[in-house]
């Protein structure tokens, strides 16, 4: 059974795929954001792979419901930690807004898989 609405998971997958590329390059605004939340450099090479896996899991989830649900749950946890990291360093600008919107959208996608 395909998740309804069908557009939500592919949109989140595209966002994760783009973010994987942005982290792999890495683009300046990504590096600045990771510096702002004090993410150690040793963990940063893992981010593109996690985001790529998330994109793949969301797309596969269109055919394998539980895989999409677990992937969306993982993104909810990831963005919960991201929002928490921004709060911890008192970064209340654009980055926390983006992380919060992605948290809400990930939660919405999770609901579509349930």
Q: What is the pLDDT tens value at each position of the chain, 114 positions in all? A: 566 788 999 999 999 999 999 999 999 999 999 999 999 999 999 999 999 999 999 999 999 999 999 999 999 999 999 999 999 999 999 999 999 999 999 999 999 999
Q: Which domain holds residue 29?
A: 8-113
Tell me, yes or no, whether 1 lies in a domain. no
Query: What is the pLDDT at residue 1?
Result: 58
- Greatest CA separation found in the chain? 42
Tell me, yes or no, whether 3 lies in a domain. no
Distance CA 73, CA 8 (A): 14
Buried b / exposed e over 36-74, threshold 16 CB at 10 Å, is bbeeeeeeeeebbebbbebbbbbbebbeeeebbbebbbb
Tell me, yes or no, whether 36 lies in a domain. yes
Tell me, yes or no, whether 53 lies in a domain. yes
User: How many angstroms from the chain centroid is the CA of residue 52?
Assistant: 10
């Amino acid at each position: 059974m395909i998740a309804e609405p069908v557009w939500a998971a592919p949109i989140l997958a595209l966002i994760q795929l783009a973010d994987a590329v942005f982290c792999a390059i890495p683009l300046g605004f990504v590096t600045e954001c990771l510096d702002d939340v004090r993410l150690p450099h040793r963990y940063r090479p893992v981010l593109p792979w996690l985001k790529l896996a998330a994109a793949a899991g969301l797309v596969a989830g269109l055919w394998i419901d539980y895989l999409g649900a677990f992937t969306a749950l993982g993104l909810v946890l990831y963005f919960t930690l991201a929002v928490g990291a921004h709060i911890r360093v008192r970064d209340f600008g654009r980055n926390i807004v983006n992380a919060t919107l992605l948290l809400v959208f990930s939660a919405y996608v999770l609901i579509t898989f349930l």
